[in-house]
Chains A and B, each alone.
Chain A
């Protein structure tokens, strides 16, 4: 069923109301501007001091995240890579993956590089991150951000992630391409929303999940995340990883942010019960964009 532009008005809302009774509140949210401090370039205290005129408050769930005023992009500190303008919920993927120094990480769909540079910082510029993206235009932005972030442990590759060559990663981040319906409060996302895109994305996400499984070493862990609120792009993909690939979900907890359990059924589909370990971040709960996140292990 192909729904024309504007269909989000009826169908999207109806779908979301089936998942959360307060889903309509999404449209009242204006996500707050947030940054992530880059400790590869300077000490946190030093950066916070320099940016004191722009900082509203520290993010309760991440020591390097700050809520800030809009004008912060036009500062020398931004230009020098002391911080990265990054949506607050999107910082969660790397936090949950928790890469360590000297690990071998694959970021399958990395552009424009917010999570790649966040992981590089968490690894203190050590270890290896393969930051891949298929889009040659977006890869330039990725390269620019990696350079600006001073992330010397990053190798940028340009593959269709579904066909990446074999390797044995300790950890994988699959922040999958999606319909971005977690950003539905923005007009450009509303215009693009249609059911057909959800089906196309879901199919692609499962293919990417299959590749992630292939690239991950035994006992390795991965994070799957999207900025979509659609069950077909989230729980359904995790259900595929569990049933078809034999992966297991892992529980995780982050203090200071409200996250809701993922759903275990959607319309006629019943998902694996361990999908409860996955989390949904709803915009109305924290003033962020919507996000889905799941931690998985390969056995």
Chain B
């Protein structure tokens, strides 16, 4: 795993503000870093990055939060969406059980209730209180962004 940059407080604040702008909530981020593919990873504040001078065979650090996109947007991972989705107030789509299953199988869905959603923008998809992933709101449907590895097969 190649760390491109350990984010300082200012950079973390910038990420928080991007999230707030899109979802109306400020997530708790203590420590984060970027990899070369612009992915944001969250770690415990107790992780001291000097340990990687010793740990050369490091496969993964912390959890994948999301990927920086153009126009100050972040494509959230499933866990990123769960962290943000808990208190998100806009760009959220609510679905019922049947459509939640469809969404988690990787299908686009066209039955949902919008909470201040902006078209052609990333939205968090929720079933009740449960965040089930992210999508992009298109004209009359939600484009599915659940990665293949996180889709259900039942």
CB of B54 within 8 A of CB of A166, answer yes
A-B pairs with beta carbons under 8 A, tally: 91
Q: Would A157 and B62 be within 8 Å (CB), given that A76-B100, A76-B127 are in contact?
A: no
CB-CB < 8 A to A275: which residues of B? Answer: none
Contacts of B46 in A (CB 8 A): 102, 104, 126-128, 153
Per-position contact with A for B73-111: 1 when CB-CB < 8 Å, else 0?
Answer: 000011100110000000000000000110010000000
- Does A156 interact with chain B (Cβ within 8 Å)? yes
Kindly state whether residue B130 has any CB partner on chain A within 8 Å. Answer: yes
A125-155 to B contact mask, C-beta < 8 Å, 1/0: 1111010000000010001101110111111
Residue of A nearest to B151 (CB): A79
State whether A155 and B51 are in contact (beta carbons under 8 Å apart), knowing that A79-B152, A128-B44 are contacts in the complex: yes
A159 within 8 A of B: yes
A interface residue count range (under 10 / 10 to 19 / 20 to 34 / 35 or more)? 20 to 34
Q: How far is the CA of A242 from the CA of B64 in the complex (A)?
A: 41
A269 CB-CB contact with B under 8 Å: no
Q: Which residues of A are found within 8 Å of B63, using beta-carbon distances?
A: 146-147, 150-152
Contact A153 B57 (CB under 8 A): no
Contact B64 A147 (CB under 8 A): yes
A3 at the interface (CB under 8 A from B): no
In the complex, A80 Cα to B60 Cα: how many Å? 20
Within 8 Å CB of B59, what residues of A?
139, 143, 156-158
Report chain A residues within 8 Å CB of B83.
150
Q: A173-214: which have CB < 8 Å to B?
A: none
Contact present for A167 and B132 (CB under 8 Å): no
In the complex, the chain B residue whose C-beta lies closest to that of A123 is B44
A69 near B: Cβ within 8 Å? no
List chain B positions with a Cβ less than 8 A from chain A.
Answer: 42-48, 51, 54-64, 77-79, 82-83, 100-101, 104, 127, 129-132, 149-150, 152, 154
List 11 contacting pairs A-B, 8 Å CB cutoff, sorted by A: A76-B101, A80-B78, A126-B45, A126-B46, A143-B59, A147-B77, A155-B47, A155-B60, A157-B55, A158-B57, A159-B57
14 more contacts with CB within 8 A, not counting A147-B63, A152-B43, A155-B55, are A77-B130, A80-B130, A80-B131, A126-B44, A127-B44, A128-B47, A144-B149, A146-B60, A147-B79, A148-B79, A152-B62, A153-B43, A154-B60, A165-B56
